[in-house]
A and B are shown apart, each in its own frame.
Chain A
């Protein structure tokens, strides 16, 4: 009864069909909020509170959100918020790279007194609840005059971006054979030059992957900008929510459109890093 199976072809069975069906259901269930958001963003003001799937779609909401019309209607400067998010997220990633690459190298290469503790502290920034530190930070920011400033946001976003970059890059440096740098030392290069000439170029894929990942996390962060960037200079995550309450009226359709626009950069970034994550690091350098 055994039919010849060609490679790559699965035999039909009720069990696997059932599993596939469950997967499809789960997929639809988990993506439903996004589908609902897309539908909502295409609805007119009149339709925005309806729960019907059938309506006349309009692209106006996107134009409104990005234009002066949106500002007039809701008081939210969404394009300004996009710019703020871009500046702060990018700034946060660059600052984290400047600090994090050397830190990751040191952590990946040498064990020194307290190195484990330092790494754990950096990691703890990631898992400690943001709300735990937000009140003291609010006080400190007010006193230092960092409240509602891009510099302040970049600084606080280090809690998000730095651990990611340090921990991801540390494993890249650990995977890189130490003998490559030793060869550079014996070629007559100092440790700094060996690092720049040998180690750094080899972890470029890791730097790209961790930087993009950190960018996504920085862009998506909500709590810190919500509390620390009061009125004038919000990031997109904060600005999106303002459409709900701006001018005494809730604009669900504008909120959905703004949220979709805000989700676009992280989406593109996420698609682009896949390639870097799977690429081999130092193939051919050292015999396997």
Chain B
């Protein structure tokens, strides 16, 4: 039960800088998810909090106490490693008993240990495996054992490194629901690392999006989803990925390459040479006779031709060619076929505008706001 604060946390491996000064404040009992692609520095962040990275710079504060120079075994931090790191010569029960036997968490009698381990393993569904060795477990069982070794102990901070990545899809969904309740039960500050945006959105009280050792955005799932800080964050969340359309800026209007769509830009983007327009596939709809495009100009409309239809269970993913650019959308309408001419419509407010300063060729321009209706007022 402690807050966690990162102040200018940095780490490097040889010449490569893994973390560029992370700052974050995580409240007591908060479930904080670090989301990022592989190599972004997620695991390094956890290891820095645990004190396992030699030569880390900046400071980690747990419960307000500066942990610089404090050995890992004195930090009262529990971590589930992505590689499991189960002791191969010990059974599941012995692995789980390990943190309770170290003597740093008070004295636990064998009965108390057994009761606690029983409780945790039952929740995780591995109570029938207590006598097995790690080599006799499936990857999913190993992962749950690693998780169990964390949950079994009262710690100030739980650090979970991709704890669900090796479970099959069904079990992952079940465990995700379970985890939320577990951590609620334990009420322990948790830093949870994942590359799966759905896990992040489902579990996190807040999400920190990590890219190349930098925290790009920190916010609640709703904030991160609705107002992504930049084009990278927009693409990190959502499947299919957010459409990013390059557009040229002229007199406050942005026209996509090929001229498929024109939008008015918010003030902040007027100075840019070019902008990226971000459109979530599920924000786009197919405007047809039954749902005509809004006549009052409250929507951006684009004409295009369906070039590919892929079935995803109930809905279909459409690749639509809009003036030479492919735009992905998802529809439940079963009548749409390849080769159809369609009109795509999206509310102005759902068109994200990403723009760097003039001449800035950044691949991940920041979000400056939503598009405005052309020639009209909102």
Contacts and interface: CB of A to CB of B under 8 A. Distances in A.
Given A177-B83, A182-B50, A283-B135, A202 B88 contact: yes
B136 interface: yes
A189 to B, nearest CB: 5
A186 B77 contact: yes
A285 interface: yes
A167 B102 CA distance: 32
B98 A187 contact: yes
User: Is the contact region of chain B dominated by helix, strand, or loop, or is it mixed?
Assistant: mixed
Nearest to A180: B85
A284 B88 CA distance: 6
Contact of B87 (A180, A185, A186, A287): A180
B271 interface: no
A190 to B, nearest CB: 6
A245 interface: no
- Which of B73, B137, B139 has its CB near the most chain A CB atoms (within 10 A)? B73
Interface in B101-137: 102-105, 133-137
B89 interface: yes
A8 B71 CA distance: 57
Given A283-B88, A284-B137, A186 B50 contact: yes
Size category of the binding interface on chain A: 20 to 34
A286 interface: yes
A188 B104 contact: yes
B142 interface: yes
Nearest to B99: A187
B227 to A, nearest CB: 36
Interface string A161-180: 00000000000000001011
Contact of A287 (B52, B83, B88, B98): B83
A261 interface: no
6 contacts: A182-B79, A182-B81, A186-B78, A187-B73, A190-B73, A284-B88
Interface of A: 177, 179-180, 182-190, 193, 197-198, 201-202, 282-287
Interface of B: 47, 50, 52, 71-73, 75, 77-79, 81, 83-89, 98-99, 102-105, 133-137, 139, 142, 149, 166
Given A180-B85, A284-B133, 18 more contacts: A177-B83, A177-B85, A182-B47, A182-B50, A182-B72, A183-B79, A185-B71, A185-B73, A186-B72, A187-B102, A187-B149, A188-B73, A188-B103, A190-B71, A202-B88, A284-B88, A285-B135, A287-B83
